[in-house]
Structure 1
Amino acid sequence: MESFNTSLGGGFILVGFSDWPQLEIIFFIYILIFYSFTLFGNTAIIALSRKDPQLHTPMYFFLSHLSFLDLCFTTSTVPQLLINLRGLDRTISYGGCVAQLLISLALGSTESLLLVVMAFDRYAAVCRPLHYTTIMHPLLCQALAVVSWVGGLMNSLIQTSLMMTMPLCGRRLNHFFCEMPVFLKLACEDTEGTEAKMFVARVVIVAVPAVLILGSYTQIARAVLKVKSTAGRRKAIGTCGSHLLVVSLFYGSATYTYLQPKDSYSESKGKFVALFYTIITPMLNPLIYTLRNKDVKGALWRVLGRGTATG
């Protein structure tokens, strides 16, 4: 079989959910609604974190970065999916596909690193409360955010460049966007060496951060158990519960997609898992962080009250 990517002028066909044509209109409506909520919720978090002085803390600084990441990540895939679901155009150019792969990988990798930084912030808040403001200095917060973004981009560049060296056969991608596991399925030669390098890169960006977060929460759990008052424990659990739920959603789907062998990866199941972390999780994150959060609710009322007063 002739290698496809010898001709960079070719393109790919995104199969999407065309296997279930009767569900496409339902998917379209729900995904459009979820995408709208994602845009609104994450934009609101960013705006509140910047506008309200009481939210000028490390936690909300990192949360606004997470919201921006979710906005970018979902926007890198969902518009293409909506076009695909309407059956208007299921093709994507080789260059467009590589760009989508690079961007989505960079944003996902950055989020993985940022969640570690947020776990460290929660560790400092619970385990080192007296030194919290000294540890989480604004300059350190900015440096950690930059390291997350640069680290995510570097990981993506490495994996994407390795993927581009692989000979691919076929034009049909059984997915709704250009994602690494689907490209690996198209490899038409034995590429064990390249795949091994890519797997190491995925372990570094998924498994290592997950272990670091687990270590942080082990220390947090020990500190919480030492707190004698029920109110103190409840406050500590509330401080970390939201982040732990977001971490579970993110790393659960990332582990399924990126840390299982190529032969056992199911493209059909992979599409639904991808729907979860490209649409559902970015929509849920603002709700998870704000639903029981008095600071954000208070900031929202202050901003709305100020707007009403000036109006």
Structure 2
Amino acid sequence: FLVFLALYTLTLAGNVVIVTIISVDRHLHTPMYFFLSMLSASETIYILVIIPKMLCNLVGLSQPISLAGCATQMFFFITLAINNCFLLTAMGYDRYVAICNLLRYTVVMNKKVCMQLVGGACSIGLIVAMTQVTSVFRLPFCATKVAHFFCDIRPVMKLSCIDTSVNEILTVIISVLVLVVPMRLVFISYILIISTILKIPSAQGRKKAFVTCASHLTVVIVHYGCASIAYLKPKSENTRDQDQLISVTYTVITPLMNPVVYTLRNKEVKDALLEAMGRKLP
């Protein structure tokens, strides 16, 4: 309980700080940091949906969750998880334009385009969540205990009295669409980015370009890696302990990566934070 409470507090505080710093510092009013603030806001709501209930369960204070409560938790979990995936993809596109098409950056990544990308990410999350939740909660349930610390898709489907093969296929198809497709887009973006960086004649210029992308790439690898293991592995390989360990990683550890990576590795965010705290910048 103490470990998860500490991680929850750090994650919540870190993401709130990032959103606040980006909103008050004019130097960070750029597309890159706009997407970062949206990701941090989404991560904040994401952990609020899952971790408080989990902490209550750990100390035995939680009451049984209702069917409607379980469906609501699953809906917000899916919506925000998919929203995060596509926000990371939008951030990858932003880095691609900034490095490979710098002269047209302000034209391509204008405010309208940024809002459309964020709105698209959220809309996809909402549509997929409604589809998944409707399909799962139309099933007849015989068991009443979810063998998990939150209402995830597969643990809830295991409570059904009937064969859930159709739902399993739907889950796999959706997982491929919201994980593999964005991953490929990010992968292609970084192939183009790296090829452009390697053509920069100055070693200092190459280093600066790599540093610009390092934080985003780190978060992408951890986020997509954990989600892919959880939802793209064969059903036969699933065990309760493995599922819970993987779920802890992408619901507790991964959201902490965002503030840690972007505050420790990003000089602009660190400088803005130090300035906001009233300290002298080095």
TM-score (normalised: structure 2): 0.95
**24, 46, 71: which one aligns with 1:98:** 71
Is 1:184–1:262's contact at 8 Å kept on the other side of the alignment? Answer: no
1:134 equivalent in structure 2 = 107
1:117 equivalent in structure 2 = 90
Largest Rg, 1 or 2: 1
Is 1:181–1:257's contact at 8 Å kept on the other side of the alignment? Answer: no
Cα distance in 2, alignment partners of residues 180 and 240 from structure 1: 33
| 81-90 or 151-160, which deviates more | 81-90
Secondary structure at the aligned position of 1:226 is classed as coil
Cα distance in 2, alignment partners of residues 95 and 274 from structure 1: 22
Tell me which of the two structures has the higher relative contact order, counting C-alpha pairs closer than 8 angstroms and 6 or more residues apart.
1
Cα distance in 2, alignment partners of residues 179 and 271 from structure 1: 10
Cα distance in 2, alignment partners of residues 181 and 249 from structure 1: 22
Say yes or no: does 1:192 pair with 2:165.
yes
Secondary structure at the aligned position of 2:158 is classed as helix
Say yes or no: does 1:176 pair with 2:153.
no
1:233 equivalent in structure 2 = 206
TM-superposition CA deviations, 1:220-254 (whole Å, max 9, x none): 11111111211111111111111111011111111
TM-score (normalised: structure 1): 0.86
1:49 equivalent in structure 2 = 22
Amino acid at match of 2:92: A
Cα distance in 1, alignment partners of residues 23 and 51 from structure 2: 27
> 1:188, CA displacement in angstroms?
2.9
2:249 equivalent in structure 1 = 276
Is 2:54–2:150's contact at 8 Å kept on the other side of the alignment? Answer: yes
> 1:299, CA displacement in angstroms?
1.1
2:193 equivalent in structure 1 = 220
2:6 equivalent in structure 1 = 33
Say yes or no: does 1:155 pair with 2:128.
yes
> 1:90, CA displacement in angstroms?
5.4
Percent identical among aligned pairs is: 39
> 1:126, CA displacement in angstroms?
1.0
TM-superposition CA deviations, 1:233-291 (whole Å, max 9, x none): 11111111111110111111111111123232222111111111111111121110121
Secondary structure at the aligned position of 2:140 is classed as coil
Cα distance in 2, alignment partners of residues 137 and 92 from structure 1: 44
Paired residue total? 279
> 1:198, CA displacement in angstroms?
2.7
**38, 44, 59: which one aligns with 1:71:** 44
Cα distance in 1, alignment partners of residues 164 and 268 from structure 2: 51
Secondary structure at the aligned position of 2:141 is classed as coil
Cα distance in 2, alignment partners of residues 39 and 124 from structure 1: 31
Secondary structure at the aligned position of 1:173 is classed as coil
| 251-260 or 101-110, which deviates more | 251-260
Is 2:42–2:84's contact at 8 Å kept on the other side of the alignment? Answer: yes
TM-superposition CA deviations, 1:143-189 (whole Å, max 9, x none): 11111111111111111111112233311211110001212333332
Amino acid at match of 1:227: I
Amino acid at match of 1:292: R
Cα distance in 1, alignment partners of residues 53 and 92 from structure 2: 33
